[in-house]
Amino acid sequence: MIIFFTFVLLTGLTAWHSWPELRQKPLNDWILDTAGLWVQGLLIPLLQLTLLQWLYQQLLPNWHHRLAVAPVVAFILSFVAVDYLYYWNHRLLHSPWGWFAHRVHHTVTAMDVMGTSRNTLWSSFLIVYLWVHGLFIYLLADPTAYGFGVSLTAALDLWRHSRLSPLAPGTLPPWCFSWLVLPQDHGWHHQSNLPPCNYGANLQVWDRLHGTWHSSGQWPETLGQSSGLPLWRQLIYPHPRPASPGPQTASQGAAK
């Protein structure tokens, strides 16, 4: 519950900047976003701390809290190593095989924090965060620093889906611009026209390394695309194999 209410608090603190867009959000979008918030903010952490701990106890009975590493190493595992796993996980979700489970997230047409959670209800089970975070919570002798990395990633995820731009003087130190994925960077991931780009969550380095980085001093003019599905199917049963995943297909080549 602490994790959930922290997530809700972060959502509220960031949402004030997006209030004009939030007021115009259609009811169906509110339902999608709110349902996703409960799944990502409450259900997933509860599963990581209960059912997954039991599962790993059955699979790895001798490894419970046996991995002793320095706090800085635990943080790097969470904030950097898992971020690289997520980069490839995200690219898979944009492939013809994974797009059906991810397409609802790309119906967001305005960057606001509530859109962070917009997903088909079960799509979070296809994201590495659930399984890897649960595993390291089980393995680490002291998962505190690892948990701090998880919380920081969640906070950056909310910020990254907002229009709270850090480009104003004094908002962030300039050196942050060259390694963090900023809101306008992630905005280009949600744009409607370019080939897909900017798959990373926390760090720019993975996209730069693999040729999928796109940077611009401006926000994209158009965001999102329609799923063409009724609300219940967006929540539960998205089309299993769309005829054309459109501009969000990973096989279309690297972005500039």
Q: Which domain holds residue 100?
A: 2-168+182-252
Kindly state whether residue 176 falls inside one of the protein's structural domains.
no
Report helix, strand or coil for 140.
strand
Number of Cβ atoms within 10 Å of the Cβ of 37: 19
pTM summary value: 0.83
The answer on pLDDT for 52 being more than 70 is yes
pLDDT tens-digit readout, 231-243: 889 999 887 654 4
Kindly state whether residue 177 falls inside one of the protein's structural domains.
no
204 against 25, higher pLDDT = 204
Shortest CA distance to 96 belongs to which of 198, 226, 241?
Answer: 241
pLDDT tens-digit readout, 131-157: 999 999 999 999 999 998 998 898 888
Kindly state whether residue 59 falls inside one of the protein's structural domains.
yes
What is the predicted pLDDT for the residue at 13? 57
Kindly state whether residue 175 falls inside one of the protein's structural domains.
no
Report the length, in residues, of the chain: 256
CA angle 75, 79, 82 (to 5 degrees): 115
Question: Average pLDDT of 203-221?
Answer: 90
Question: Average pLDDT of 10-34?
Answer: 72
* Structural domains counted in the chain: 1
CA distance 207 to 197: 8
Phi, psi at 140, each rounded to 5°:
-70, 135
Kindly state whether residue 159 falls inside one of the protein's structural domains.
yes
CA distance 37 to 223: 21
Number of Cβ atoms within 10 Å of the Cβ of 79: 20
CA distance 227 to 35: 17
Kindly state whether residue 131 falls inside one of the protein's structural domains.
yes
Kindly state whether residue 129 falls inside one of the protein's structural domains.
yes
Kindly state whether residue 10 falls inside one of the protein's structural domains.
yes
Phi/psi zone of residue 38: left (φ > 0), alpha (ψ -120 to 50 degrees), beta? Answer: alpha
What is the predicted pLDDT for the residue at 192? 79
CA distance 176 to 7: 23
